[in-house]
Amino acid sequence: MHDLVVRAGSVVDGTGSPARTADIAVDDGRITAVGALNGVSARHTIDADGALVTPGWVDIHTHYDGQATWDEVLAPSAWHGVTTIVTGNCGVGFAPARPDRHDWLIGLMEGVEDIPGTALAEGMAWDWESFPEYLDALDRRRFTVDVGTQIAHGAVRAYVMGERGARNEPATADDIDAMRAIVREAVAAGALGFSTSRTIAHRAIDGEPVPGTYAAEDELFGIGAALGDLGTGIFELAPAGVAGEDVIAPAKEVDWMRRLSVAIGRPVTFALLQIGDAPDLWRELMDESLRAAEEGAQLWPQVAARATGILTGLHTSYCLFDSIPAYQALKARNLSDAQLLQALCDPSVRESIVSFQPEPDHRAALEKAYAVTFVLGVPPDYEPGPEASLASMAAAAGRHPLEIAYEVMLESAGQGLLYFPILNYASMSLEPVREMLLHPRAVAGLGDGGAHCGVICDSPQPTFMLSHWTRDRTRGELLPLEWVVKKQTLDTARLYGFGDRGTLEPGMLADINVIDYEHLQLGTPTVVTDLPAGGRRLVQDAVGYLATIKSGQTTFDNGSDTGARPGALVRGAR
């Protein structure tokens, strides 16, 4: 008798092989058989007839570093079929941490990843100082998903160099030796790798760039050598790119990554997005990474499944009305959400906002914003055409864009949202994203689960990958179902050395999704106040996940949390 049998599903096993009808048997948390298992019995059975069955998604780019110390569920990611997450990205994290640097590390994470500092301060117990102690703290907890993490440059630099490190002063040879020793200790204890950031957009709450932004090659190579010494771990980064008028030459930026990967014999993965100021830079970086691979380097551009878009509404961190004096006066009254909604329903308040006349130098900027701000809609549309912009809708109706925006934001009891794509949407379509995904060196990531709480909710990207790219897209070609499943299971798992998951094959962890593929649908993003200290965040659910199974235990049944917590810390590659 098996522990569990998932019967008669349309199995897309993560290897890229065609879908086939099969049963899956599970024992002791692992898959023990896949095929026609007629006549076998099981303690638990899931009828998957008519459903799609896939491996659990492996999400390699999240920022649940703090949340994982108090939250067992790790939503929204866990709501979207994710069974393994990787944290510690982009050079920010919480270990090592001297006792007098806790507030500074919180400010760093708050500034870079828009996670409320009050929530982090309230939620984290700080029962660690070293990185191995941080891993031990995670190891004492259980989750709906498995959690792996990397050691972050910002925390390491500040721990070793103090204020010099925080202010991005050059590292001495002794500093580099000390940082390498800490990273080596962390990876030996189970860190999946090391992360850093070189983008000027990543700043702490005090406005200072992330420690390591300007690190010289001797520092980057010196720290990276720790991975080479151990023969394990990945080097992850947010690369330098566009900062105002300054465009970093892609060949120069990729060159040091290429040489680093060859020198340490380890993979290097870096965030890659289309930037409006340099809309073709991503192609150059892709081409350079491909040439680097031909020279023996392991470079993996990490790409998103859709545009990175700011959500603007009445309760988000940024609102389209923020620059309007009448709205500023309303917000200054510190009204509750219900009181704000009631005030905005007053016709005189409405008129004071929608009749706003900006100064001439501000008018052009607003008109540009109206042309690239869209009604998100229900269900949400993440590839809107120009006709869905505020400017186009207002012109068609003979009204002002602010009138359209006002009505949208009042919808759903004040939870209505507008969508302002800031990256990956310079061409007003997702065709560049499709090209990125199809590139032979690209790996799917950048969902940023747990981060950008007030304006972005991209952690549901695994659901979007499946529904939009294989079924729903109308403004361009679709992608093959089997290919998309492999892209966010086997491919992401193997990059981080997870050899025990990512496919539905005997011997693998029983991380399984059972999906009503025909009716799989993203919900509407919503602002909730469920973080510690009443912190706000955007969350987004989905309909269509009939069951999510982690290590043989059903964690979500038709979207409902079952209370099972089979997930644990993942120490190192396997």
Q: What is the pLDDT of residues 341-356, one digit of tens each?
A: 999 999 999 999 999 9
> How many CB atoms are closer than 10 A to CB 440?
8
Label residue 250 by pLDDT band (50, 70, 90): confident
What one-character-per-residue DSSP string does 428-473 give?
SSSHHHHHHHHSTT-EE----BT--TTT---TTHHHHHHHIIIII-
State residue 245's pLDDT score: 40
Q: Confidence class of residue 433 from pLDDT cuts 50, 70 and 90?
A: very high
Whether the pLDDT of residue 416 is over 60: the answer is yes
- Which residues, in sequence order, are bridge partners of residue 86? 148
How does pLDDT run across 285-315, given as a tens digit for each residue? 999 999 999 999 999 999 999 999 999 999 9
53-78: pLDDT as tens digits: 999 999 999 999 999 999 999 999 99
| 390 in Cβ contact with 370 (< 8 Å) | yes
Is residue 567's pLDDT more than 60? yes
Sorted by sequence, the CB contacts under 8 Å of residue 545 that are 6+ apart come out as 79, 80, 81, 513, 514, 515, 516, 520, 556, 558, 559
What was the pLDDT predicted at 242?
46
Q: Show the tokens assigned to 84.
A: 């393994």
239, two tokens: 């690369």
429 φ/ψ angles, rounded to the nearest 5 degrees? -160, 170
Query: pLDDT at residue 271 above 80?
Result: yes
Summarised one tens digit per residue, pLDDT across range 315-344 is 999 999 999 999 999 999 999 999 999 999
Beta-carbon count within 10 A of 33 CB:
16
Number of Cβ within 10 Å of residue 89's Cβ equals 30
Q: How far apart are CA 372 and CA 297, in angstroms?
A: 39
HSE at residue 459, side-chain half, CA atoms within 13 A, is 32
- Measured CA to CA, the distance from residue 419 to residue 455 in angstroms comes to 10
Domain boundaries, the chain: 58-305+424-479, 311-422
Burial 535-565 (b: 16+ CB within 10 A, else e): bbbbbbbbebbbbbbbbbbbbbbeeebeebb
244 CB-side CA count, 13 A: 2
Residue 244 banded pLDDT, cuts 50, 70, 90: very low
Confidence band of 251 (pLDDT split at 50, 70, 90): confident
pLDDT, position 201: 83
Longest Cα–Cα distance of the chain, Å, equals 77
Dihedral over Cα of 372, 374, 376, 380: its sign: negative
Alpha helices in 46-116 (DSSP H): 102-113
Instruction: Measure CA of the first residue to CA of the last residue in the chain; give whole Å.
Output: 28
Q: How confident is the model at residue 247 (pLDDT cuts 50, 70, 90)?
A: low
Domain 58-305+424-479, second-level architecture: Alpha-Beta Barrel (3.20)
Q: Is a pLDDT exceeding 50 seen at residue 368?
A: yes
Tens-digit pLDDT profile for residues 1-51: 999 999 999 999 999 999 999 999 999 999 999 999 999 999 999 999 999
Q: How far apart are CA 62 and CA 44, in angstroms?
A: 32
pLDDT band at 248; cut points 50, 70, 90: low
Instruction: Quote the CA–CA distance of 33 and 35 in Å, as a whole number.
Output: 7
Q: Is 239 a residue whose pLDDT tops 70?
A: yes
pLDDT tens track for 452-510: 999 999 999 999 999 999 999 999 999 999 999 999 999 999 999 999 999 999 999 99
Look up tokens 């760093």; give the residue.
108
Please state, as a whole number, how many other Cβ atoms lie within 10 Å of the Cβ of residue 1.
8
pTM, 2 dp: 0.97
Sign of CA dihedral 259, 260, 261, 263: positive
Characterize the bridge pairing of strands 242-243 and 512-515: unpaired
For 566, the 3-state DSSP assignment is coil
As a whole number of angstroms, the distance between CA 545 and CA 519 comes to: 9
Sequence-ordered list of residues with C-beta below 8 angstroms from that of 151, at least 6 positions apart, any chain: 88, 93, 95, 131, 182, 183, 186, 187, 191, 193, 194, 195
What is the pLDDT, as a whole number, of residue 361?
A: 84
Length of the chain: 574
* Mean confidence (pLDDT) of the chain: 96
Would you state the pLDDT for residue 240?
84
Q: Which two tokens stand for residue 520?
A: 């799989």
CB 12 within 8 A of CB 34: no
- What torsion do the CA atoms of 89, 94, 96, 97 make, to the nearest 10 degrees? 150
